[in-house]
Each structure stands twice: as C-alpha cells, then as structure tokens.
A and B are shown apart, each in its own frame.
Chain A
Amino acid sequence: MNLGSKFSAPIIEKSVYGCLTRVVFGVDQAYLAEPGQFLHVLCGSEDGRILRRPYSLFDTASGTASILVKEAGPGSAWLARREVGEEIDCMGPLGRPFSFSIFDRPALIAGGAGIAPLIFLYKNMCSEGMEPSLFWGIERSGDYGDMPESILAEFQVRIASEDGRVGFKGTALELFTSQQPEDFSAIYACGPRGMLIELTEIMIGDRRARLQLSFEERMACGVGACKGCVVPASDPAGSYLTVCKDGPVFEGKELDWARLKSRVWQ
C-alpha cells in the first residue's frame, strides 16, 4: 500500500455531471494510489468549517488524480466551485484499498456517488485481463448529467435508475440480484449505508466473506489518530474499526451488522 503525503495540487481540469463535479488534480508523475483509497482535502468555506473532507479517488493516471465531489454541505460546495488553476491542499492517498485476485469473477455495485472508487477498481481489473461486471444505481436519470451515457460508452456497465428512464428500472441491488448473483465470486460495493446493509442481507453467512464494502463516515484526522470515524467491528464484540485507517474498505465479515443496522445514519 502507498504511504500518503501532504501536498498542494493545482486543479487542471473540472467537469460537471449534474450533482457531481469531477475535479482533476495535477500531481507528481510518480504518484501512486489504489482503488478504494481517498484524498483528504482541505476545503474552505464561508462559515468557518475547519476540517478536511475525504474523497474516494476516481482515477489516477500519469501525473493526475481525480475525485468526484457531491455537494453535501459548505465544504463540498466550496470545493465544487474552485476553478482550474487554483491550488488545493491534499493529504493522501489514505486508507485501505480494495484487494482482488485475478482469478475472481467480480461484481461491482455502486449506489449514486459511490461510483467513484468502483470505476477506478473496474479499470484496474480490466487492465489485469479480468472481466468485472459493474452495476450502477442512480435515483433519477438527470441527476448525474451525461455521466451515465459517457460511462456506458466506455465501460461494460449496467445502469439502474429508479425512474426507469436509463437502463433497468429499480435499484442497483435489484439489478444485481436479477443477474444470478451466485455466479460472482467477489462482490465490491460503495454507496449509501442502507444499500450496504441490504447487500449483507442478500449475502448471508459464508457469502459475506466475498464482500468488500467501501464506507463513508464523518472524519477528522484521516490517519487513525482521533478514532472519530468508526464503524462497529465483529471481533472483539463491542469494538470499533476506523473508516479512515482500518477502512474505508472492509470485508463483510469484519463488521458487526447487527449494530450497524441498529442505526442507519444516511
């Protein structure tokens, strides 16, 4: 895994897809990151927000690293409005990435903005000669601008929209379960907490061992020091794991799903 660093990076490209803004940073040519890792970005704001905000890496290519920003509050709104040429203070890449074996038959399931790390993972799997299946669920066809169309043009992705105007009518999970989920030997997911919980109800018992799930949680330090961004762990009982350092990618069996279900945050 790559050790992160703190750096200032210029925005070299920016594109808006409905509620998402893709921000491309210019980074060192040697910059390396893995799918599932995140950048901890210092956002300004007009009302004195002080902490960094974590964004899953959407892709890295030679000399660039990009993220998808969804406006959720003053910090992300500030970041989405930055212009090409502005310098942004970043830490990363941080966190535990997805892991995969080239012998797997993987399904990748994304809900909404959870598409970011899974596109990155999908591309890495393809470059290893694998044939992953990617399912992306969106609420309404217009929410993400022309991203669904441009992703469809580039990747073997199946899209589900709740209004049925693009692809399958329904959720990403309904689409996934309609596609012989038994056939997949490894399942990777990122999306709303409710979607991840629902997925564990489909993948019960031993099948949870096949799950790798990327979690979101409000974060402070991003490096495992403050213990702020925790999720309930299965072992030892009652304990917690940090999303920033132990995660953000967890195997299904590492987490205590009964406690996770007891309060759905999002």
Chain B
Amino acid sequence: MGTPQEPRLAVEISGINLRNPLLVSSGTFGNGREYSEWLDLGMVGGIITKAVTLLPCNGNPPPRLWEVPCGLLNSIGLENKGVEAFLAEDLAWLNRFDVPVWVNVAGFSDEEYVAVAGMISDSGMADAIELNISCPNVKQGGLHYSSSPREAARLTAMVQKAVNLPLYVKLSARTADIKEMAVEVQKAGADGLSLINTFPAMAIDVETGRARLANVSGGLSGPALHPIAVLAVWEVAQVVDIPIIGMGGVWSWKDAAELMMAGADAVAVGTLNFVDPEAAFRIAEDLGSFAARKGFESVSELVGLTRRGGIV
C-alpha cells in the first residue's frame, strides 16, 4: 500500500485497501503521469483517472476554462486518446505504482460504455471502474443518463454485466432527486457511488456579451461546490448501503472531514490538485492529526458521524 502512513488513516472500500481515504478525482490528476514528477503517486489513497472513451476524443474548442470567485468552470469535453492507447500507455505505466486505480469511463452510447468498461476490466490493470454518467460538457456524454434514474439504472446494469470489478457510478447533483437516482443505481448493481460531479454553470463576458466558454456552459468545481456535495452525500448516505466517495471543492482536511461525517467512506480532492499537487497527501496527514486529536482509532469512525449525533 505505498509509503507507510499511520494505521489510523487506512480504510477499505469495496474490498480495496487504501492507505488513506484521500483519492484524487477524475480529470484533475491526468492519468497520474503528469503529477509523478511532483509527488510519489503511492502517497495518495487512490487515483481516479481522467475519463476514457472508446475512440480518441479531441474535446471542446477553447476557451475551456473560466475562473469565478471560489470556483472554476471547465468545458474540456472528454479530451482523451481512446481506450486502446490509454491501456497500453497510461494504465500499464500507472500499474508500476502501488496505488489503487479507479478508471473513469465515459461514452456516447450504451454500447461504448459497455465496451470500454469491459476492456478496462479485462485488462486486469484497474482496481475499480467509475462510470461517468454526469459529464456536463458533451451533448451525449452522459448527463442525460443522470437526469433519469431509469436510464442511469439501465446503463449501470448493462455495464455491471460486462465487468469483473467494483463498479462506482458518478452522479450529478443536478437531478430532480439524487436519493432516488442513488437507490435505482444501487438496485441495478452499482458497488459504490462517487458524489458529486461538477455542476452545470455559465459565465458571460459583459463587455462583449459573449459566453466565456466556447462551449457556452461548463461544469463548476471548487469550493463553491462543496456545500452542495456535503448535502448530496448526506442525503444519499441515508438511503443506500454501498460505499460513497465524496468529492466537490475539497480544499482542506475540514472539508474532507465534513464529507465523511455526512456519510462518505472516502473523499476525493479535485480542483485543488491544480493548485497544490501534494494536496491529497497533505490533507490525509491533517485528517489523521484531527482524528488523533479527537481520540479516534480510525478515520472510518468519522463516516456518518453527523447522523449518529456528532462527537459525544
């Protein structure tokens, strides 16, 4: 499990042992390679790779980024080199590190999701799959699945049949009822949930009257998203019994602790990776200190603490 860290930080989800509960979220850490010069990849709890599709995908035209107070809008549009190159070049490379890997899978049709997830599973190089049904930046890229619990459940069931790995489904908070969505996806065979994806958003340059992003809308990430994520985790944790990876604007150990107290079994750092490549490791250490200060044997004791009446 990588570099030794205090036992208090170790967690297990879906049979996967993490040296600490801090993962890095999809799209914010490349496929690990870009950050391998900046930290020992074995120091993070887990890596969720950037979305991979069946065929290479150029992504959206620029501008793709716009920063807002306490947040970032992006419309990358699933730029990636396709599953074959991903397996041969990136996942094979990432396997040399002693760190659990969730592969984020996206697609433009049912068949594509199933094909890519099957190839990832068959490769034997991934620990889990994260099904991206909530990317806000491509027209058929999944957001329609996440606006309909029935569609989300149908896709989850199809992909589950094709894989031999824990299947996590990444949900968006932009849905009528995230609890219903979570329940349906669990019934369809999901082994875990990632909560939450970026939230659809928009910014306009008032000097020109034009949208800031070439794609017009994008996904909002960063601290502005955090309280929305806390509520989503809180609500969903009460209606499902599969593990939850909480994510959305984690900027400090307190944000990570909040998500865990709301019900997340592990936490992923996203946009903060762009500012501090070592953030996940640093937050894990700080979370360990907090758990020690509160007298917890394991950080897992934080999970769902608010529901149990808080720290007594």
Interface residues of A (CB under 8 A from B): 3-4, 6, 42, 47-52, 217-232, 238-240, 245, 259, 263, 265
Contacts A50-B271, A229-B62, A240-B79 given: A220-B72 contact, CB under 8 Å?
A: yes
Cβ B58 vs Cβ A238 within 8 A: yes
CA distance A47 to B224 in the complex (A): 12
A227 contact set on B, CB distance < 8 A = 50, 59, 64, 76, 79
CA distance A219 to B76 in the complex (A): 12
Scoring A238, A240, A259, A263 by chain B CB atoms within 10 A of each residue's CB, the highest score goes to A240
Cβ B275 vs Cβ A52 within 8 A: yes
Scoring B37, B71, B72 by chain A CB atoms within 10 A of each residue's CB, the highest score goes to B72
Interface residues of B (CB under 8 A from A): 27-30, 34-35, 37-38, 50, 58-59, 61-67, 69-72, 74, 76, 79, 214, 222-223, 271, 273-278
Taking the closest CB of chain A, its distance from the CB of B91, in whole angstroms, is 16
Count of A-B contacts judged by CB separation below 8 Å: 98
Contacts A52-B274, A224-B34 given: A47-B76 contact, CB under 8 Å?
A: no
Contacts A225-B35, A240-B58, A263-B214 given: A230-B64 contact, CB under 8 Å?
A: yes
Cβ B273 vs Cβ A218 within 8 A: no
Residue from A49, A220, A259 within 8 A of B65 (CB atoms): A220
Cβ A218 vs Cβ B66 within 8 A: yes
Residue of A nearest to B249 (CB): A50
A225 contact set on B, CB distance < 8 A = 28-30, 34-35, 50, 273-274
CA distance A231 to B271 in the complex (A): 21
Cβ B62 vs Cβ A230 within 8 A: yes
Cβ B34 vs Cβ A245 within 8 A: yes
Contacts A52-B275, A226-B74, A228-B76 given: A3-B37 contact, CB under 8 Å?
A: yes
The 7 closest A-B pairs by CB, nearest first: A225-B30, A225-B34, A48-B69, A228-B65, A221-B274, A48-B70, A220-B274
By secondary structure, the A interface counts as loop
Q: A50-B71, A50-B275, A223-B277 are in contact. List 14 more A-B contacts (CB 8 A).
A: A48-B69, A50-B271, A52-B275, A218-B66, A220-B274, A221-B28, A221-B30, A223-B37, A225-B28, A228-B76, A240-B62, A240-B79, A265-B62, A265-B63
A259 contact set on B, CB distance < 8 A = 61
Taking the closest CB of chain A, its distance from the CB of B47, in whole angstroms, is 12
Cβ A217 vs Cβ B62 within 8 A: yes
B223 contact set on A, CB distance < 8 A = 48, 50
Cβ B74 vs Cβ A228 within 8 A: yes
Cβ A240 vs Cβ B59 within 8 A: yes
Taking the closest CB of chain A, its distance from the CB of B258, in whole angstroms, is 18
Cβ B274 vs Cβ A6 within 8 A: no
Cβ B63 vs Cβ A218 within 8 A: yes
CA distance A229 to B64 in the complex (A): 7
Taking the closest CB of chain A, its distance from the CB of B71, in whole angstroms, is 7
B277 contact set on A, CB distance < 8 A = 6, 223
B58 contact set on A, CB distance < 8 A = 238-240
A265 contact set on B, CB distance < 8 A = 62-63
B62 contact set on A, CB distance < 8 A = 217, 229-231, 240, 265
A-B contact pairs, 29 of them (CB 8 A): A4-B37, A6-B278, A47-B69, A48-B223, A49-B69, A50-B67, A50-B271, A218-B65, A218-B67, A220-B274, A221-B274, A222-B274, A223-B37, A223-B38, A224-B34, A225-B29, A225-B35, A225-B273, A226-B27, A226-B65, A227-B59, A228-B64, A229-B65, A230-B64, A231-B62, A239-B58, A240-B58, A240-B59, A263-B214
